[in-house]
Amino acid sequence: MTQDNRQIVLAEIPQGKLAPEHFRAAVAERPSPGDGEVLLKVLYVSLDAANRAWMQGATYRSALAAGDVMAGGALAEVAESRFAGLGPGDLVFADTGWQSWAVLPGRRLTKLPRVDPLTHLLSVYGVAGLTAYFGLIECGRPKAGETVVVSAAAGSVGSLVGQIARLLGCRTVGIAGGAAKCALLTDELGFDVAVDYKAGDTRRALRAACPDGIDVYFDNVGGDVFEACLFNMATHGRIACCGAVSQYDGAAPRAGPRGVPGLIVTKRLNLRGFIVSDFDDQRDAALARLKGWVDSGELKVREDVLEGLEVLPAALVGLLAGENVGKRMVRIA
Ligand SMILES: NC(=O)c1ccc[n+]([C@@H]2O[C@H](COP(=O)([O-])OP(=O)(O)OC[C@H]3O[C@@H](n4cnc5c(N)ncnc54)[C@H](OP(=O)(O)O)[C@@H]3O)[C@@H](O)[C@H]2O)c1
């Protein structure tokens, strides 16, 4: 047996803001696959805002506990297989956790095509791309000419939402933190307007950016930004509730946004929460459409690739603080 499985363990559940000190490095034996299992070599670990939410309690997955290898999705390569459907060299997306090797049941894994660059399997052709696509199209139901607003707009999901909305003929407004991210949205990613939520009165800035109101709001952040959008919604507007990153990293959130449910009633709003896997049956069609846009150059894919297992804790802390532009991931091997 080889003692070469480098791991990052969640040493302590954070009570306030997450810090690198909540993690520790460990080394374990490389695991061996049993019947029906595969040994995976982890290539790229995906960093997701939701990683922090899993420390708060059970969500769509069970809660993390102190002492667990930190959970996380990854692009991995099959190194050894005792499962008929997968062989050495096959690529999969798997919940490997933050470690260099993992053993998982083969039936839980889906073989992925080899694309160039491979990192697109974690960004536009992975959870981020599918979340942007289904959340916008199925929950937001935008029509050409409508105004679509997205928060965390320079992040992995948000940067794709705004571009897809533009491709569907909508006017697009991105909300992001800081002048540099706002410039990127309008100058490189084709957003019509960018609103810096750190610059002051977001509700007022949105009113100026959306004089006819917001038809579709794709909510990645919750909290104050959600409230600012709620007050600017057009009658019969739709809100796709994707996530609430403003609430993940800290103590229990403050009392909820004002205007709920009053504004929802008077403006006849439709709010729909979703998890990307709700739309698994439409996955192939969505991927084909995303690929068409990427291949034609109409959809730009921003990625933020860091190096080395040891940077994972700081990389997650940095993601929550808004360091990233586009899809953040860490190359392990
Ligand atoms: N429903 C689903 O199936 C599903 C699937 C995947 C992801 N998601 C959700 O999608 C959202 C985006 O996740 P991601 O992993 O792609 O991360 P991301 O958008 O790439 O990165 C997170 C971004 O959130 C912004 N942010 C952090 N704190 C904030 C605050 N207090 N207020 C406003 N913005 C804040 C930061 O950008 P700024 O510099 O702009 O602040 C940061 O870059 C999350 O809510 C996540 O839970 C949902």
Give the pLDDT band (50/70/90) at residue 160.
very high
The SS3 assignment for 302 reads coil
pLDDT tier for residue 149 given thresholds of 50, 70 and 90: very high
Q: Whose CA is nearest to atom 9 of ligand 1?
A: 243
Residue-wise pLDDT tens digits, 4-42: 999 999 999 999 999 999 999 999 999 999 999 999 999
Mean pLDDT for 326-331 is 98
CA distances from 202 to 41, 154, 195, 199 (A): 45, 16, 7, 8
| Pair 202, 224: CB distance under 8 Å | yes
* % of the chain with per-residue pLDDT over 90: 94
| Ligand 1 atom with the shortest distance to the CA of 47 | 15
155-171 average pLDDT score: 98
What's the whole-number mean pLDDT along residues 251-262?
A: 83
Cα 155 to ligand 1 centroid, rounded to whole Å: 6
Per-residue pLDDT at 90: 98
Residue 1 is predicted with a pLDDT of: 76
Which residues line the pocket of ligand 1, CB cutoff 6 A? Answer: 48-50, 127-128, 131, 152, 154-158, 176-177, 181, 197, 220-221, 225, 242-246, 274-276, 319-320, 322, 324, 328
| Cα of 262 vs its chain's centroid, Å | 30
- C-alpha 326 to ligand 1 mean position (Å): 10
Confidence check: pLDDT of 134 > 80: yes
Pocket of ligand 1, candidates 54, 130, 157: which has the most ligand atoms within 8 Å of its Cβ, to mutate?
157
pLDDT for residue 254 is more than 90? no
Q: What is the pLDDT of residue 9?
A: 98
Q: Is the pLDDT of residue 121 over 80?
A: yes
End-to-end Cα separation, the chain, in angstroms: 20
Residue 257's pLDDT is 87
Is this model's pTM higher than 0.95 or not?
Answer: yes
Amino acid at 6: R
CA of 245 to the centre of ligand 1 (A): 5
- What's the mean pLDDT when you consider all of the chain? 96
Instruction: Write the pLDDT tens digit of every residue in 273-321.
Output: 999 999 999 999 999 999 999 999 999 999 999 999 999 999 999 999 9
pLDDT at 63: 87
Using alpha carbons, select from 20, 13, 1, 274 the residue that is nearest to residue 127. Answer: 274
CA distance 104 to 96: 8
Confidence of residue 329 (pLDDT cuts 50, 70, 90): very high
Please compute the mean of the pLDDT values over residues 249-264 and round it to a whole number. 86
Tracing tokens 């199925």 back to the chain, one arrives at 138
Distance 274 CA to ligand 1 centre (A): 15
Tokens in use for 87? 């062989």
**Best of 123, 163, 245, 248 for a ligand 1 pocket test (most atoms within 8 Å of beta carbon):** 245
Q: What are phi and psi of 235, to 5 degrees?
A: -60, 140
